[in-house]
């Protein structure tokens, strides 16, 4: 049977982090409830489209999904189970912001089948956490983490950020080692990018940020440290213990299908990419009026990137890279004939060729956009 991923966006936060430009904001209890009700109705409305599909991953992301009351999360979980088919052993993740988690919430997660937690730790340095605008301290995180373990969650991912203002490479490596010491199953580490419409964007001129070379050194050490501690890199920013990759996130890079619900959520279904407008108001109003929210389809031919280019671009996010054999099977063409310049970058150490697949080396990952614009034919 055809399998799909399901993504559900919870655009609420207690407060907006200083670096964040995703669609999220703080909201009243009433607004949250209206939204969850709308989501449930939306699931019901759409259910028919997926009657021939099974969902093997569910991902509740945000925003801060853990801000939701146990009642609301259960209502959402119930709607998912009632209207959609989940496979046996489906991966079911939810994002947690330390400081919003309670034992009661964990019980609710258990109840609806959540089996993977992604905790936004970001840093183990309280000063940096404060500066990032996070609502938690290291202590809050530890409390949440141990509570989750106590309640039997055995698949936990930690999110970290590096290249933060005033943060040296050594500072970050300390955070990393501390994070490793909790023995999570999965670690994501993202390089801070200053976006225009954020608090950081407003004050970017006075932020003391590491330079490119320091970021590069940090990244290489990050990859190295994690590898040495049993976390292998499977994507630019993602690392896991054996068998603990995020199956949901993998769908993005493997060009597998996923359906996403909620404002600003992006789907890939029936070969088409579409999203919903980033407006909770519009989303809820529409559903309350019995109309499914309008899908904004990625314009046809808007991008000169061909399907093949897109495939290569996405696969190259992964450490497994592009397999020559799979490429030939899919497109009937020889990978090197299509992208002859790959070899050039192999020679320079940015790309490696192992087991019949081309993939970026860590140093290549860090300049992957540059190299992709060189090798892709668009």
Partner 1 sequence: MNEKQKYIRNFSIIAHIDHGKSTLADRILEYSNAVSKREMEEQLLDNMDLERERGITIKARAVRINYKHKDGQDYVLNLIDTPGHVDFNYEVSRSLNACEGALLVVDSTQGIEAQTLANAYLAVDCDLEIVPVINKIDLPSADVDRARNEIEDVIGIVAEDCPAVSAKVGLNIDQVLDAIVEKIPCPKGDESAPLKCLIFDSHYNAYLGVVVYVRVMDGTLKAGDKIRLMSTGAKYDVVEVGHLSAFGLEKADSISAGEVGYITASIKTVSETRVGDTVTHDENPTNEPLKGFKEALPMVFSGIYPADGAKYNDLRDALDKLKLNDAALSFEPETSIALGFGFRCGFLGLLHMEIIQERLEREFNLDLITTAPSVIYKIEKTNGETVFVDNPSNYPSPDSIATAYEPTVKSSIITPTEYVGGIMDLCQDRRGIFKDMKYLDSQRVELYYTMPLNEIVYDFFDALKSRSKGYASLDYELAGYEPSNLVKLDFLLNGEVVDALTFIVHSEKAYARARRIAEKLKDNISRQLFEIPIQAAIGSKVIARETVRALRKDVLAKCYGGDITRKKKLLEKQKEGKKKMRRLGSVEVTPEAFMAVLKLDDSDK
Positions touching partner 1 (CB under 8 A) are 7, 9, 22, 61, 190-191, 193, 212-213, 215-216, 219, 236-237, 251-252, 258, 260, 264-268, 273, 275, 298, 303-305, 310, 313-314, 317, 348, 350, 363, 366-374, 376, 378
Question: Which stretches does DSSP call E strand in 63-211?
Answer: 86-96, 116-122, 156-162, 186-191
Q: Is the distance from CB of 172 to CB of 166 less than 8 angstroms?
A: no
Q: Which residue, 172 or 350, has its beta carbon nearer to partner 1?
A: 350
Question: Minimum distance between the CB of residue 212 and partner 1, rounded to whole angstroms?
Answer: 5
Question: Minimum distance between the CB of residue 169 and partner 1, rounded to whole angstroms?
Answer: 13
Q: Which residue, 230 or 349, has its beta carbon nearer to partner 1?
A: 349
CA distances from 136 to 10, 125, 149, 162, 299 (A): 19, 11, 19, 17, 41
**Hey, what are 376's tokens?**
């892709």
Question: Minimum distance between the CB of residue 103 and partner 1, rounded to whole angstroms?
Answer: 28
Q: Which residue, 88 or 304, has its beta carbon nearer to partner 1?
A: 304
- What totals of helices (H) and strands (E) does the chain contain, helices first? 16, 15
Neighbours of 310 (CB within 10 A): 15
**Hey, what are 43's tokens?**
């699931």
List of residues 6+ apart from 316 with CB closer than 8 A: 322, 358, 359, 360, 368, 372
Give the long-range contacts of residues 342-345, CB within 8 A, separation 24 or more.
342/375, 345/371, 345/374, 345/375
Give the long-range contacts of residues 360-366, CB within 8 A, separation 24 or more.
360/236, 360/316, 360/319, 360/321, 362/219, 362/220, 362/223, 362/224, 362/233, 363/216, 363/220, 365/219, 365/236, 366/215, 366/216, 366/219
Q: Which residue, 72 or 192, has its beta carbon nearer to partner 1?
A: 192
Question: Minimum distance between the CB of residue 267 and partner 1, rounded to whole angstroms?
Answer: 7
C-alpha–C-alpha distance, residues 372 and 53, integer Å: 34
Q: Which residue, 110 or 193, has its beta carbon nearer to partner 1?
A: 193
Question: Minimum distance between the CB of residue 289 and partner 1, rounded to whole angstroms?
Answer: 26
Q: Which residue, 211 or 289, has its beta carbon nearer to partner 1?
A: 211
**Which among 157, 169, 149 is positioned nearest to 235, based on CA atoms?**
157
Q: Which residue, 106 or 235, has its beta carbon nearer to partner 1?
A: 235
Q: Which residue, 164 or 313, has its beta carbon nearer to partner 1?
A: 313
Question: Minimum distance between the CB of residue 376 and partner 1, rounded to whole angstroms?
Answer: 8
Coil, strand, or helix at residue 6?
strand
């Amino acid at each position: 049977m055809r399998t799909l991923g399901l993504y559900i966006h919870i655009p609420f936060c207690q407060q907006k982090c200083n670096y964040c430009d995703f669609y999220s904001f703080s909201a009243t209890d009433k607004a949250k409830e209206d939204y969850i009700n709308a989501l449930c109705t939306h699931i019901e409305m759409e259910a028919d489209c997926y009657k021939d599909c099974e969902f093997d991953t569910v991902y509740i992301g945000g925003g801060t999904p853990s801000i939701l009351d146990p009642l609301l999360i259960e209502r959402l979980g119930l709607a998912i189970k009632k209207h959609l088919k989940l496979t046996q052993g489906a991966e079911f993740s939810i994002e947690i912001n330390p400081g919003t988690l309670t034992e009661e919430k964990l019980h609710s997660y258990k109840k609806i089948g959540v089996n993977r937690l992604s905790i936004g730790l970001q840093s183990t340095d309280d000063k940096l956490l404060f500066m990032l605008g996070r609502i938690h301290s290291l202590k809050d995180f530890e409390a949440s983490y141990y509570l989750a373990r106590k309640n039997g969650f055995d698949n936990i991912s930690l999110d970290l950020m590096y290249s933060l203002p005033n943060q040296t490479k050594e500072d970050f490596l300390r955070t990393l080692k501390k994070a490793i010491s909790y023995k999570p199953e999965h670690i994501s580490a993202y390089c801070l990018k200053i976006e225009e419409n954020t608090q950081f964007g407003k004050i970017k001129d006075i932020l003391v940020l590491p330079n490119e070379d320091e970021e590069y050194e940090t990244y290489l050490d990050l990859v190295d440290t994690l590898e040495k501690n049993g976390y292998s890199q499977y994507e630019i920013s993602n690392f896991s213990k054996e068998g603990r990759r995020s199956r949901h996130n993998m769908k993005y890079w493997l060009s597998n299908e996923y359906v996403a619900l909620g404002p600003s959520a992006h789907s890939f279904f029936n070969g088409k990419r579409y999203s919903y407008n980033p407006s909770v108001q519009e989303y809820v109003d529409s559903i309350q009026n019995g109309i499914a929210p309008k899908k904004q389809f990625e314009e046809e031919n808007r991008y000169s990137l061909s399907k093949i280019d897109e495939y290569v671009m996405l696969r190259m996010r992964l450490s497994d890279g592009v397999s020559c054999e799979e490429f030939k099977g899919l497109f009937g063409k020889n990978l090197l004939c299509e992208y002859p310049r790959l070899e050039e970058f192999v020679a320079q150490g940015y790309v490696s060729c192992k087991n019949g697949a081309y993939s970026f080396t860590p140093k290549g990952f860090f300049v992957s956009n540059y190299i992709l614009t060189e090798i892709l034919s668009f």
